[in-house]
Structure 1
């Protein structure tokens, strides 16, 4: 089962970690997706978004443009699009449980 949660960056940053009443992707399942993400955080199954963003921004030197929360093959994933200082776009898949970067794709590589 894949679950995708899309957050607007200003709202995600303002809420810190799956706050109340988030702006999600358009679609009929958005309330359920948001609830699953919130529950995963409350149950300690995933790291807070702010903690993951701090690490990514520090280690990959860039500005976060887009965030998605997914569950792929039983694993929670933060998918983060980052505009790096050299102007290249990077897409990182980060394990939401421990913050490890699992995959990086860069435009131009």
Structure 2
């Protein structure tokens, strides 16, 4: 189940933290992410972006909050400085990087 993209406000955090620009995000995911964060079910997006910042610099293209195999996952799509688009899947509760996929 996808919970759509996060809001523009959430992306602004990533722009500041990773030094990037632009995005399109939906209000529904932001509201759901905020609810889950306030209840302690997930870590703040800012915390997770800080964790991946040293290894993944570039432009954030999209952030989605998803439920996969019973766990809540952030999918962060980044266009790296090397020109490669990577999807980084992060456990929203623990901050663990679950997988990294390169787009073809």
Matched residue, 2:32: 36
Tell me the matched-pair count: 94
Distance 1:12 1:35, change over 3 A: closer
Q: Which runs of 5+ in 1 are unaligned?
A: 17-22
CA contact (8 A) 1:13 1:50 kept: no
Distance of 1:65 and 1:3 partners within structure 2? 17
User: Greater CA radius of gyration, 1 or 2?
Assistant: 1
Distance of 1:101 and 1:35 partners within structure 2? 23
Matched residue, 2:96: 100
TM value normalised by structure 1: 0.71
Distance 1:15 1:90, change over 3 A: closer
Matched residue, 2:26: 24
> Which aligned segments of 4 or more residues in structure 1 are displaced greater than 4 angstroms?
none
Distance of 1:64 and 1:15 partners within structure 2? 11
The correspondence for 1:82, drawn from 78, 81, 86, is 78
Q: Which runs of 5+ in 2 are unaligned?
A: 15-24
